Amino acid sequence: MSLLFAEKGCKVYYFDISEYNMKAAEKMVKDVNKETRVFRQHSYQQLCEEIYSENHPRIIIFSIPHGNPGDECVKALRPYMTKGDIILDCSNEFYGNTERRQADLAKDGIFYVGCGVSGGYQSARAGPSMSPGGDPQALEIIMPLLRRVAAKDRDGKPCTSPIGPGGSGHYVKMIHNGIEQGMMSVISEVWYILTKGLQLNYEEAAGVFEKWNETPELYNTFLIYIAVDINRTKDEKGRYVLGRIQD
């Protein structure tokens, strides 16, 4: 994600408590010749000092596991942050934790924005769909940045919009994940009925999904679309991979 922001014209200062992650990021930066836009920092204090400006607040972006790591990052950053600064949490955080941190940091005038991020690991470079939620003042500041890096729809519009107050951004992401998981479960059950009940082979099952993806109800549905590809995928020996996957 650091490279995505850099490629969209931002200067990025990054820090991770894992030396392994830091070295991996450093190598990626060098591999794409972004050393003049992405800068490694060696502590939370150095990070906050480097991005300080009298003209605009700090914007610190989390791309970390949900739960305790977020609390630890907030605890480590807080002594070096000032009133008006913004933490943009792009993890898959539980919205209740987001609202708890928002209330706590508000005592120091620090904004905490919970932002759902969708699109899989590929979106870290190609641009994700982003659903930010939090204080309107903070959202107004970060929206131009998010519109710059977010994925674009077929009409070229950024796939991001301010969702609302509190933990609404992470709440929307939670609902999104629930719908997606439910749809995948239904697709799996349908596939089982097609192949085990009706005894269709993988190519025939792919044809059924392909036809459904052209109907008005399921037109151009991504999960149906990839179900077609999965049924038709073969390994290097020409064998259908679905027949060899144990789980």
SS3 165: coil
Task: Look at residue 232 in the predicted model and tell me its pLDDT.
Answer: 96
CATH number for the domain spanning 53: value is 3.40.50.720
What are the helix (H) ranges across the chain? 2-7, 19-31, 44-50, 68-77, 95-106, 123-126, 136-149, 168-192, 202-212, 222-232
Residue-by-residue pLDDT tens, the chain, 247 positions: 899 999 999 999 999 999 999 999 999 999 988 889 999 999 999 999 999 999 999 999 999 999 999 999 999 999 999 999 999 999 999 999 999 999 999 999 999 999 999 988 788 888 999 999 999 999 999 999 999 999 999 899 999 999 999 999 999 999 999 999 999 999 999 999 999 999 999 999 999 999 999 999 999 899 999 999 999 999 999 999 988 887 6
User: How many other CB atoms are found less than 10 A from the CB of residue 210?
Assistant: 16
Cβ contact 39:12 at 8 Å: yes
Report the helix count and the strand count for the chain, using DSSP H and E. Answer: 10, 6
Q: Which residues are catalytic?
A: 173, 180
The predicted model scores a pTM of 0.87
Give the residue from 123, 141, 170 where a domain finishes. Answer: 170
Q: How far apart are CA 68 and CA 63, in angstroms?
A: 13
Is residue 101 located within the same domain as residue 212?
Answer: no
Give the residue from 129, 146, 170 where a domain finishes. Answer: 170
Only one residue has tokens 């928002």, namely 102
* Domain enclosing residue 47, as ranges: 2-170
